[in-house]
């Protein structure tokens, strides 16, 4: 499937299927799939220790998490041929 767009961004509530649909859509378009939660987790990783987004939110609070999410979105916005 060809598209004139260089990226597609899916938004929705947690558990709504963004990752499942995003992976399928990326495959169909020949794009790469990027999960924002994975970008946040990788950015937060300290000493190779993986921490999930829920644990990050719980430990640091909403404002900290939203700032991390904003930075992850800025980083992925620069990517081409990507479903985010």
How far from chain centre, in Å, is Cα 53?
11
Would you state the pLDDT for residue 47? 67
Local confidence pLDDT in tens for the 84 residues of the chain: 666 788 999 999 988 999 999 999 999 999 999 999 999 999 998 767 789 999 999 999 999 999 999 999 999 999 999 999
Tokens of 72: 């992850």
User: Beta strands of the chain (E only): which ranges?
Assistant: 7-8, 32-33, 82-83
Would you state the pLDDT for residue 3? 66
Would you state the pLDDT for residue 61? 96
């Amino acid at each position: 499937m060809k598209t004139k767009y260089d990226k597609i961004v899916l938004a929705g509530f947690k558990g709504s299927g963004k990752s499942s649909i995003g992976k399928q859509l990326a495959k169909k378009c020949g794009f790469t799939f990027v999960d924002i939660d994975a970008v946040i987790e990788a950015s937060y990783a300290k000493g190779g220790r993986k921490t999930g987004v829920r644990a990050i939110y719980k430990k640091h609070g909403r404002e900290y998490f939203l700032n991390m999410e904003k930075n992850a979105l800025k980083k992925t916005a620069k990517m081409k041929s990507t479903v985010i």
